[in-house]
Amino acid sequence: MTYEEAILARIANVLESRKPDAGADPKQSYVASLFVKGQDAILKKVGEEATELVMASKDGIPDRIVSETADLWFHCMIALAHHGLRPEDVLAELARREGISGHQEKASRSTQGDSSNE
Ligand X SMILES: N=c1c2ncn([C@@H]3O[C@H](COP(=O)(O)OP(=O)(O)OP(=O)(O)O)[C@@H](O)[C@H]3O)c2ncn1[C@@H]1O[C@H](COP(=O)(O)O)[C@@H](O)[C@H]1O
Q: Does residue 71 belong to the site contacting ligand X (CB under 6 A)?
A: yes
Choose between 74 and 90: whose C-beta lies nearer to ligand X. Answer: 74
Applying CB under 6 A, the span of 24-32, 79-87, 88-96, 103-111 interacting with ligand X comes to: 24-32
Measured distance CA(117)–CA(109) in Å, rounded: 9
Measured distance CA(38)–CA(13) in Å, rounded: 19
CB 49 within 8 A of CB 55: no
Choose between 30 and 105: whose C-beta lies nearer to ligand X. Answer: 30
Q: Does residue 30 belong to the site contacting ligand X (CB under 6 A)?
A: yes
Task: State which of residues 16, 19, 26, 29 lies at the interface with ligand X (CB under 6 A).
Answer: 29
Picking from 40, 16, 39, the residue whose alpha carbon sits closest to that of residue 29 is 16
What CA–CA distances, in Å, run from 85 to 97, 107, 109?
19, 29, 25
Q: Does residue 77 belong to the site contacting ligand X (CB under 6 A)?
A: no
Q: Does residue 53 belong to the site contacting ligand X (CB under 6 A)?
A: no
CB 66 within 8 A of CB 33: no
Task: State which of residues 12, 31, 53, 56 lies at the interface with ligand X (CB under 6 A).
Answer: 31
Contact residues toward ligand X (CB under 6 A) are 11, 14, 18, 29-32, 48, 71, 74
